[in-house]
A and B are shown apart, each in its own frame.
Chain A
Amino acid sequence: MIKRLTYLFLCSVFVFYSCKSGVKKSKGEFGENDSIKADSALPVSKEAMADLVQNISSPIEMAALIKSLGVPFSQKYLAPTNHLDNFNTNTSKAVNLGIFGADLGYINMYSKTSTVLSYISAVKTLADGINVGQFFDFTTLKRLATNNENIDSLMYISIHSFNVMDEYLRKNNRSNLSALMIAGVYIEGLYLMTQVAKEKPNKKLAESIGDQKIIFEQMLLILKNYQKDPYFKDFIANMETLKKEFSEIKITIEMGEPKSVEKNGMLTIIQTSKSTVHITDEQLKRIISQTEIIRNKLIK
């Protein structure tokens, strides 16, 4: 009896730790040491960091904007997936995880399931590389993509997996990698927008690019928290040139009281405060060029 119970106990312990596989790992378990191991000595506290980075960059909003303008899908904007071996540090893996995540959002928005597989595989490889691959449901995503079924689920699982990876990194004193992953998503989103604007100039798109100034400032604030790390230092230096371009863009705000409208039991809040982005063709051209330089450096 005791033997059986001991066996049962060992099995349960195994189940317990298997299910918790992604919950907590000691620092020594990571294949490669992060350049910044703990968040305790950061200028901005871990709590404040967590507060800053919610929804800072989403591939959905960027891809939806491009699609809403009637711009067709183009594979040439995407980062190539054939040299993942070049990303041999945790920092480069994290930033490119974000870049491929943004590309995945763009592909999903256009329901290009034939293209999606190589991006899902790239995300899985990089996620495994920084020990967060257990949160990326590769098997389900591969099945959905292969069978060309349920694009909504494909989109949900992709975004949710990124959120879980991000949360895990932040909760486990690896928020430097979370910051890079988010920056990767942001830069690739900006790159896609600017490449479309370069080929198909559009006033609304130009204003949306100028409007990125708001998000850019938050992004830079997060990255600066880790500026002692050489990878971040270099990244920030490149971002500073883009900051200079963004700083010239003027955004005016007209204040107003929000309005509530109830229709069929659904409440809608309409914001009457409105911002207007003033961006010249020259400013846009410089942002396009600088974004291209930064993004292409990151994917090298």
Chain B
Amino acid sequence: MKHITFILAIVFLSIGYAANAQTEAQKVEICSGTAGPDASYLKDFVVDLPAAQGDEKAPTAKYSLILQKDTKYRITICTDDDSPGKGYVQLLDTNSLLGSSFNPQTGKEYKGFDFDCQKSSVYHIFIQFQEGKAGKSIVILSFIKKL
């Protein structure tokens, strides 16, 4: 009986894994679609972060990317339905904050923001979850138009 249970567990885990692998690609495609009909997908950032422990800072996923002058970009975030925390994305230039999809002072949230880039440079995307909770999110970088 133990063998049967073990085998069944393997079967379900395997099927579950395959189904999950498909879901992630689909989630990226769906999230890319939320950027709007004027947006062309460039890059996705899939994050799965643990909760902050005690007094430590909220875990942050950090990515560096090059954005080009005279270009309008859109940065969109989609948080998984079963994610404990609500994700938000920030755009930084060296160490100064340019924009965020969440304003902790007002509590206002956006599904993302457009960025009118006027300077080609290395920029940084930070992804965090409100109140340092654990969470899963997808961030999509899209091209909108040349300015």
Contacts and interface: CB of A to CB of B under 8 A. Distances in A.
Chain B interface size band reads 35 or more
A267 B11 contact: no
A271 B117 contact: yes
Contacts of B120: 211, 214-215, 275
Contact of A64 (B64, B66, B116, B143): B143
Q: Is the interface of A mostly helix, strand, loop or mixed?
A: helix
A152 B68 CA distance: 22
A68 interface: yes
A51 B119 contact: no
A268 B145 contact: no
Contact of B41 (A8, A19, A159, A272): A159
A282 B4 CA distance: 77
A113 interface: no
Contacts of A64: 40, 143, 145-146
B65 A55 contact: yes
A165 to B, nearest CB: 13
Contacts of A272: 118
Q: Which of B3, B8, B93, B113 has the most CB of A within 10 A?
A: B113
A64 B41 CA distance: 13
B98 A258 contact: yes
Contacts of A265: 110
Contacts of B67: 55
Interface string A250-269: 00010000101000011111
A161 B69 CA distance: 26
Contacts of B69: 208, 211, 275, 277
A61 B70 CA distance: 10
A268 to B, nearest CB: 4
A264 B67 CA distance: 25
Given A271-B93, A277-B69, 13 more contacts: A5-B4, A5-B7, A8-B7, A9-B11, A16-B18, A19-B18, A61-B68, A160-B28, A160-B44, A265-B110, A266-B114, A273-B118, A275-B118
Q: Which 3 A-B pairs have the closest CB atoms?
A: A269-B99, A16-B14, A19-B18
Interface of B: 3-4, 7-8, 10-11, 14-15, 17-18, 21-22, 28-29, 32, 37, 40-44, 62-71, 91, 93, 98-99, 101, 110, 112-122, 141, 143, 145-146
